[in-house]
Structure 1
Amino acid sequence: MRKSIATVCLSGSLSEKLTAAARAGFHGVEIFENDLLASRLSPEQVRERAADLGLAIELYQPLRDIEAVSDEQFTRNLRRAEHKFQVMRQLGADVLLVCSQVSGQAVDDDALAAEQLRLLAERAHEHGIRVAYEALAWGRHVSTYDHAWRIVQQADHPALGLCLDSFHILSRDSDLAGIERIPAEKIFFLQLADAPVMAMDVLQWSRHHRCFPGQGGLDVAGLVRHVVNAGYRGPLSLEVFNDVFRQSEAGPTATDALRSLIALEKRAGVCAPPAPLTQPSGIAFAAITSTDPQPVTALLGALGFVRTHKQAAGNRPELWEQNDARVLVDSGSATRRDGARLAGIGVRCPDPDALVDRAASLLVPVLVRRRGEPNVSPHTISAPGRTEVFLCATSDRATGACPATAGALLGIDHVALTQPGAQFDQAVLFHRSVLGLRPQESVEVADPCGLLRSRALSNDDGSLRLVLNLALVPEGDDHPAQHIAFVTDDILAAARRFRAAGAETLAIPANYHDDLDARYDLDPAELAAFREFGILYDRDEHGGEFRHFYTATVGRVFFEVVQRTGGYDGYGAANTFIRLAAQRS
């Protein structure tokens, strides 16, 4: 299906927005009126510029507060509409978006609304223009698509139809099945946006928190299936109001927008039966780059890791192993600013070539590495946030360094990746669409100097877990630390072994453990050990338990050791603010 984007989604001038949309690969655009009014290009020049770029102008928007008003007001509204018709003819656009009334001047009278919309459609038809009527979720009298459809039916004019907007429909929790009862020729346009599930005023939700499909929590794919089942074959068009997108570079945002539509088509299966997506089956290793690897390897040694591979050429990278937990340490691409950083993860997948093909189809850069690492495919995928995803065979497992001692680390439980603000939603879409991971709802945690937004993703069996973090911190501190969490079946033994190796766990305030004693009926000996070794504790509503401790931070990397019991499936979010405060003290 044709793919379109509203200019309101992108930053910059109208000319810059058109260029970004064309370079990303869109077929068309919706011209947002404010962008045209602020442009130094005439409507004819905009038309020529779009044509030169190979873009169709699919829609002009919006015309507001038209229907269900007094005769005098409607006469003024028609005069305003006539001006827009002239502009649209100069632009070469033939569909006009009309939003349902929000004005206090409007009356609750469907018959009057239908009559006036029919008169508007008659005028539009004389100019070769169609009117797409859209129910705003906060409309004064018309706020649902089925109500708007009843008015369009009553108006009964061939130049009047519907614009269906996924945000307005899904935010009202409307019945999607009813869409299939609308004749295809009456669905003039389809606008798409996702959003995180939030309890807030719907207007503010819409104006500031929309995102591209796949980045939020709404069932956009389900809605698209119903619209296509109704017979709609027009553009899939994005209309996203988002404060971050409007402050970000237009080119990468447009590429991410198109990626979201390609992934949406795959999830919705609207062009062909969706190809089965084989999920990665676990984390094979994590890769760290450091200008001075010694502090990183010292921590790994204290945690019980053994260096099992040191590449001859340039003495890098080093492979450190313990059971099925592996860490590559490399000094090749680190910078002085980072010191040490988490540069990538290796994921096990049954068919690396298929995953590479999927990534390429979703406009994700695929890199071919010039130097080999042990057991790693030559292909890597470039993920948001300066992170690479290395592809490993499913059968790939550690071959040595498998201590059976108490407190040994068994594997990588999860990896936490901190994202720049503009790339947080991009990273959610990447890991969901390329790796097939399931995102959980976002969690916000108070940081002593700001706010941390976090969103976890995992495969179906939990063998691959990622946590994406967005730290809203003061200017100049925009690269908070990332970390690797290792799993053990004996957290106290792991902590004692770490301490015996001469290392110290992150010191946790005594007040935390005092409160822990008040909240949970813990064994006094266990609580005393928690205090001694800085171990944190959480319990879910089903009785599952989570015990974890942290190491010191080296550069922008630290390590966590966790123990899960009783089916605990979270990440100790209740303790995150304690960890953040302890790391800053």
Structure 2
Amino acid sequence: MRTSIATVSLSGSLTEKLTAAARAGFDGVEIFENDLLASPLTPEEIRARCADLGLTIDLYQPMRDVEAVPEADFGRNLRRARHKFELMNRLGADTVLVCSSVSPHAVDDDSLAAGQLGRLADLAREFGIRVAYEALAWGRHVNTHEHAWRIVEAAGHPALGTCLDSFHILSRGSGPKDLEGIADIPGEKIFFLQLADAPLLAMDVLQWSRHYRCFPGQGGFDLANLLGHVLRTGYAGPLSLEVFNDVFRQADAGPTAVDAHRSLLLLQEAAGVAELPAPVVPTGVAFAELLTADAEPVTAVLAALGFTRVARHRGKPVDLWQSGRARVLVNTGPAARRDGTRLAAIGLESPDPAAAARRAEALLAPALPRHRDPGDAPLEAVSAPDGTELFFCATEGDQLPHWRADFEDLPEHGAPAPSAVRVDHLALTQPWHHFDEAALFHRSVLGLDAEQSVDLADPYGLLRSRAVSNADGSVRIALSVGAAPTDDTAHAQHIALATGDVVAAARAFRAAGGRLLPVPANYHDDLAARYEFEAGELQTYRDLGILYDRDSGGAFRHCYTVTVGRVFFELVQRDAGYRGYGAANAPVRLAAQHAPH
């Protein structure tokens, strides 16, 4: 189906918004009046710019407080409308959005509202324009889509139809039964469909609407069900996004528009009206790649953790360090920055790497060009919203060339017994404006399941975190972001390593010269009040800085190394039934990381 986006959903000047929408693959736009008023371009120049970009102008909006008012007021409204219709002709827009009135002068009289909207439609038809009447959730007298449709139906004017807006419908708690009434509206009388998701919040609906809307799939609304009802009427117009969001209106318009278009592709897939390559869920973590200009500090930590340098890439300055099934690549190539070590790439084991890449590219994930030497494994890679490179790797034993073949084994060094058996999870800090986008990306592109977002107390604000994982927990990624733009470099990334005995692993790490993150004694004093431990157990945790959590599935014991660059490591001992990440301990960990060491 054709896709459109309201210019109010993006940041920047009108020209920047139009360019971003076109580059992201949208077919059209809704021109928000404030964007036009603030533009130095004439309506004719805006029309030409849209044509050059391949965009149609699908809607001009909004006209407010038009109907059910005293005749003198309505006369002034018609004068205002005539001016707007002349402007729309100059723009080349043929549909105007009229919101249900919030004016204190409006009266509760459906007959008057229908008559005045009919007269407005008479004027609009003179200019070749259609009027789409929308019920605002906070409208003074008309605040439901059913009520708006009754007025449109009563007016019986060919140039008057309704606009359905998912936020205004679903924010009022409309359930599946409430949506069935949409089927009573003839498809040709639904002049426009606006879509927005939102987190489920208990707050004033106007403030909720103005600040917290998000793209489909990023909130809690059942948009696929609503869309299915609309499409069954025969509606043939565009699917258009109208999203008021404080973060989106400050973020770069280009990535936001791509995320917006991705959300509409996913919504169409969920509603069964578009077919995309099926998700290919990763089955494990093949490797984590660290990029560093100075390998010595991070390799010292790896060695203390029991990792051994086992191989080197045949053509690139990349070493493979391994402990059990946990593999870390250390890349000192030209892309390494001088500001420290960072987690730059993740290798994901996939049952069908090529199909995983097709899914990713269909959902607008940028494919990463790679220089391949003869004989290199044909790894497919895409970029996540935060810039992390995601490689789709064949599993060991697969018939496809394996990434490990790109590395030459190094001579045996008599490595110590490995303590880390595999990667338990990876934690990626997102730029502040990419959090919702990252969660949608990992769910949709990788087919991972997302948990609820949680807020974690940091000494300098709140840290939002949301985990995504596959069904058996062999792939777990925790996404986090600070509460403000300045927070995106304040919180490090980390690699959590699963071990069968965290006490033994911590002792071995410390004996090998590694530095564990100190944990305040107050934390372990509180543990003594909350849980019962075996004799000497709590003192061991205190000595090693081990933190402890428990839920109905079992216990979780974990400790942390100090940070190197932007990366630290976590040693984890997880009971089989424990599904969390020790979130209850995050405030203590964050405070300890901020403290001088």
- The equivalent position to 1:240 in structure 2, one of 225, 238, 243, is 243
Question: Residue deviations 1:458-496, cap 9 Å, x none?
Answer: 223322111111123684973531001111232222222
Q: What secondary structure sits across from 2:31 in the alignment?
A: strand
Q: Which residue in the other structure is 1:379 paired with?
A: 380
Q: Which residue in the other structure is 2:232 paired with?
A: 229
Q: Which residue in the other structure is 1:75 paired with?
A: 75
**How many residues of Structure 1 are paired with residues of Structure 2 in the alignment?**
581
Q: Which residue in the other structure is 1:545 paired with?
A: 555
Report the Cα distance in structure 2 between the residues aligned to 1:224 and 1:172, rounded to whole angstroms: 17
- 2:447 is aligned with 1:436: yes
Question: Residue deviations 1:310-346, cap 9 Å, x none?
Answer: 23545x3111222221111111145444310000101
One-letter amino acid of the structure 1 residue matched with residue 476 of structure 2? R
How far the C-alpha of 1:555 sits from its partner, in A, is 0.4
How far the C-alpha of 1:375 sits from its partner, in A, is 9.1
One-letter amino acid of the structure 2 residue matched with residue 536 of structure 1? L
One-letter amino acid of the structure 1 residue matched with residue 225 of structure 2? G
Q: Which residue in the other structure is 1:37 paired with?
A: 37
One-letter amino acid of the structure 2 residue matched with residue 68 of structure 1? A
One-letter amino acid of the structure 1 residue matched with residue 594 of structure 2? R
Report the Cα distance in structure 2 between the residues aligned to 1:359 and 1:331, rounded to whole angstroms: 28
How far the C-alpha of 1:361 sits from its partner, in A, is 1.9
One-letter amino acid of the structure 1 residue matched with residue 221 of structure 2? L
Q: Which residue in the other structure is 1:416 paired with?
A: 427
Question: Residue deviations 1:473-530, cap 9 Å, x none?
Answer: 6849735310011112322222222223232321111111112222233335322222
Gapped runs of 5+ residues in structure 2?
Answer: none
- 2:387 is aligned with 1:389: no
TM-score (norm 1): 0.92
How far the C-alpha of 1:454 sits from its partner, in A, is 1.3
Maintained 8 Å contact 1:407/1:495: no
Q: Which residue in the other structure is 1:457 paired with?
A: 468
One-letter amino acid of the structure 2 residue matched with residue 281 of structure 1? T
- The equivalent position to 1:514 in structure 2, one of 525, 529, 533, is 525
Pair 372,521 (structure 1): closer, same or farther in 2 beyond 3 Å: farther
Maintained 8 Å contact 1:196/1:218: yes
1:142-181 pair list within 5 angstroms: 142-174=142-174, 175-181=178-184
How far the C-alpha of 1:373 sits from its partner, in A, is 12
Pair 404,153 (structure 1): closer, same or farther in 2 beyond 3 Å: farther
Report the Cα distance in structure 1 between the residues aligned to 2:547 and 2:137, rounded to whole angstroms: 44
Maintained 8 Å contact 1:124/1:131: yes
Report the Cα distance in structure 1 between the residues aligned to 2:563 and 2:79, rounded to whole angstroms: 66
Q: What secondary structure sits across from 1:232 in the alignment?
A: coil
How far the C-alpha of 1:14 sits from its partner, in A, is 1.8
Q: Which residue in the other structure is 2:297 paired with?
A: 295
Maintained 8 Å contact 1:135/1:148: yes
Pair 378,276 (structure 1): closer, same or farther in 2 beyond 3 Å: closer
Report the Cα distance in structure 1 between the residues aligned to 2:233 and 2:384, rounded to whole angstroms: 36
1:124-523 pair list within 5 angstroms: 124-174=124-174, 175-272=178-275, 275-313=277-315, 316-333=317-334, 335-371=336-372, 377-395=378-396, 408-472=419-483, 475=486, 478=489, 480-523=491-534
How far the C-alpha of 1:422 sits from its partner, in A, is 2.7
Greater displacement, 3-12 / 44-53 = 44-53
How far the C-alpha of 1:355 sits from its partner, in A, is 1.5
Question: Residue deviations 1:367-391, cap 9 Å, x none?
Answer: 2422579996422111122210011
Report the Cα distance in structure 1 between the residues aligned to 2:390 and 2:583, rounded to whole angstroms: 25
Report the Cα distance in structure 1 between the residues aligned to 2:386 and 2:308, rounded to whole angstroms: 29
Q: What secondary structure sits across from 2:589 in the alignment?
A: helix
- 2:81 is aligned with 1:86: no
Maintained 8 Å contact 2:482/2:488: no
Maintained 8 Å contact 2:162/2:191: yes
Pair 291,66 (structure 1): closer, same or farther in 2 beyond 3 Å: same
Q: What secondary structure sits across from 1:245 in the alignment?
A: coil
Maintained 8 Å contact 2:306/2:416: no
Pair 53,456 (structure 1): closer, same or farther in 2 beyond 3 Å: same
Greater displacement, 55-64 / 452-461 = 452-461
How far the C-alpha of 1:556 sits from its partner, in A, is 0.4
One-letter amino acid of the structure 1 residue matched with residue 116 of structure 2? Q
Q: Which residue in the other structure is 2:95 paired with?
A: 95
Maintained 8 Å contact 1:376/1:391: no
Report the Cα distance in structure 2 between the residues aligned to 1:324 and 1:101, rounded to whole angstroms: 63
1:559-570 pair list within 5 angstroms: 559-565=569-575, 567-570=577-580
Maintained 8 Å contact 2:278/2:359: no
Q: What secondary structure sits across from 2:327 in the alignment?
A: strand
1:5-44 pair list within 5 angstroms: 5-44=5-44
Greater displacement, 287-296 / 516-525 = 516-525
Q: Which residue in the other structure is 2:111 paired with?
A: 111
One-letter amino acid of the structure 2 residue matched with residue 571 of structure 1? Y
Report the Cα distance in structure 2 between the residues aligned to 1:524 and 1:78, rounded to whole angstroms: 83
Identical pairs, percent = 63
Maintained 8 Å contact 2:553/2:579: no
Report the Cα distance in structure 1 between the residues aligned to 2:107 and 2:48, rounded to whole angstroms: 41
Alignment RMSD? 2.7
How far the C-alpha of 1:222 sits from its partner, in A, is 2.8
Q: What secondary structure sits across from 2:78 in the alignment?
A: helix
Greater displacement, 294-303 / 261-270 = 261-270
Gapped runs of 5+ residues in structure 1?
Answer: none
